[in-house]
Structure 1
Amino acid sequence: MGQKVAGTCYIKVDGEQLTITGGVEVPLSKFKRETITTGVFKEEDLTPYVSVDAVKTPGFPQAKLENGTNMTVTAEFKDGSCYVLSGAYVVDEMKMSADDAKVAIKFDGISGDWQ
């Protein structure tokens, strides 16, 4: 029997759904480890994030994204899982490609939780 593990994804920012092209990335872990020597490692916290390629459609919430510093970003995946980023804000530069109206957006936040 087949299983859905990928496909359509939905992104909402403070409840407002963005039109996306499918390019969504979220972390699966809250930390990363690095080996110092055999059997000894260090562990660093990772900043929770959501990275997405959206489409600049009419009504695109540019001002909200640009000015928001405490947004909630929800990524709903085809396999039924959901990642919620709280205290979110846009990092890096938002820019649009004229060829396809694609806007690369990276949100960092205070807390990222799988539900």
Structure 2
Amino acid sequence: MGQLVAGTTYVKVDGAQFTVTGGAEAPLMTVKRETVAPGFYKEEDLPAYLKMTAILAPDLDFKKIVNGRDMTVTCEFKNGKVYVLAGAYLVGEPSYKGDDGTAEFEFNGIKGTWQ
């Protein structure tokens, strides 16, 4: 029996629905581990994030998103997993692509949790 593992992704930023193309990306771990000797490792905290390519629809208030400093970003993956990013803010240099109407968004936040 086949199992659904990928497909349409739904993202909301402070309640505003994004139309996502190409999916979304979220970290599975909150730390990066590195072995320093067999059986010994160190950990480094990783930022919580969510990356996506989204259509910049005419009704999407991108100014609110660009200026947001404490947003909640929720991503529902087709496999039933949900990632919630709290205290989110936009990072990088997002820009609009007029040829296909999309923008690349990367949000970092205070805490990301899988539900």
Q: TM-score range by the shorter chain?
A: over 0.9
Q: TM-score, normalised by structure 1?
A: 0.95
1:52 — aligned with what? 52
1:8 — aligned with what? 8
CA–CA separation in structure 2 for the residues paired with 1:23 and 1:100: 16
CA–CA separation in structure 2 for the residues paired with 1:113 and 1:63: 26
| Worse overlay, 59-68 or 74-83 | 59-68
Q: Which runs of 4+ in 1 moved over 3 A?
A: none
Deviations 1:65-84 (A, max 9, x none): 11100000000011111000
Secondary structure of the residue aligned to 1:94 is coil
Secondary structure of the residue aligned to 2:64 is helix
2:22 — aligned with what? 22
Secondary structure of the residue aligned to 1:92 is coil
1:38 aligns with 2:41: no
CA–CA separation in structure 2 for the residues paired with 1:98 and 1:34: 42
CA–CA separation in structure 2 for the residues paired with 1:106 and 1:36: 31
Kindly report which structure 2 residues correspond to 1:50-89, keeping only aligned pairs within 5 A, or say none.
50-89=50-89
Identical columns (%): 52
1:94 aligns with 2:57: no
CA–CA separation in structure 2 for the residues paired with 1:109 and 1:94: 16
The answer for unaligned runs of 5 or more in structure 2 is: none
Q: TM-score, normalised by structure 2?
A: 0.95
Count the aligned residue pairs.
Answer: 115
Deviations 1:1-55 (A, max 9, x none): 1111100110000111111103310001111101222222110111000001011
How far off its partner does 1:102 sit? 1.2
CA–CA separation in structure 1 for the residues paired with 2:114 and 2:27: 10
